[in-house]
Chains A and B, each alone.
Chain A
Amino acid sequence: MDRIPILKFGYSLLVTIQVDMHDQLAMTLQDDLTSRLVKERARGVLIDISALEIVDSFMGRVLNNIAAMAKILDAVTVVVGMRPAVAITLVELGLDLPGVKTALNVERGMDLIRASVEDLSAADDDAE
């Protein structure tokens, strides 16, 4: 497989990572997500990593880049399903995911995106 599929769900983009990605595949995903965000005017990106056995510094950088890009395009990024062993390992590795919100599963992740989009539009209304 040379591309990870991106689904549109409401105002969010949904990605389920099901394979151990090589670096180029991860970079392609980053680029594809950026162009889809622009094209679909999506407000949220939900990335399901429950199948991922590890997140190393490269993958962490990709997640951070996606979140930074999404932020510029006014969208929030939520990573769901991170395995406990992966979370423990990330801390010891020393990797921070500052712009990335995390949630237990897809449903909670969607709630998080909905809440933050509503927050943002409330703030917009105040500003007007």
Chain B
Amino acid sequence: MTTLSERLAIRAPEDIVRVRQIVRTKAAAAGLSIVDQTKIITAASEIARNTLDYGGGGEVEVEGVADQSRVGVRLTFRDQGPGIADVEQALRDDYTTGGGLGLGLGGAKRLCSEFRIDSKPGVGTTVVLARWK
């Protein structure tokens, strides 16, 4: 069963703060430990910033998930930006085109139980993050 999902637009830096807050609320409601909450909030913050900075803005859907096999939260970030030509390269730590540390994608992947990225040049990018109890 998936509990009510919430959508949030990511259009401005303040929205990254809002994403962190809503993910914290959902993760706590799902009963994730403090460490797991911290991990998924941090991962969400990274991907929300990428959505804003590189994707030109977009949205996130935040779901609380509770079924027989797993309990936790799932986040789906979508943008209609330029996309990523070489996803494997983008995932590498230290790879950045924006003067960052290049840690966002690789770090988010390490911090989550599930990580999926689907990107097409000229079409956009979707990143799915989940953290299960």
Contacts and interface: CB of A to CB of B under 8 A. Distances in A.
Interface of A: 20-24, 53-58, 60-61, 83-86, 88-89, 92-95
B41 A93 contact: no
Contacts of B34: 85
Interface residues of B, number: 26
Contacts of B13: 22-24
B101 interface: yes
Interface of B: 13-14, 16-17, 20-21, 24, 34-35, 37-39, 41-42, 45-46, 49, 93, 100-101, 103-104, 106-107, 110-111
B111 A57 contact: no
Contacts of B106: 94
Contacts of B39: 89, 92
Contact of A57 (B16, B21, B107): B107
A95 B38 contact: no
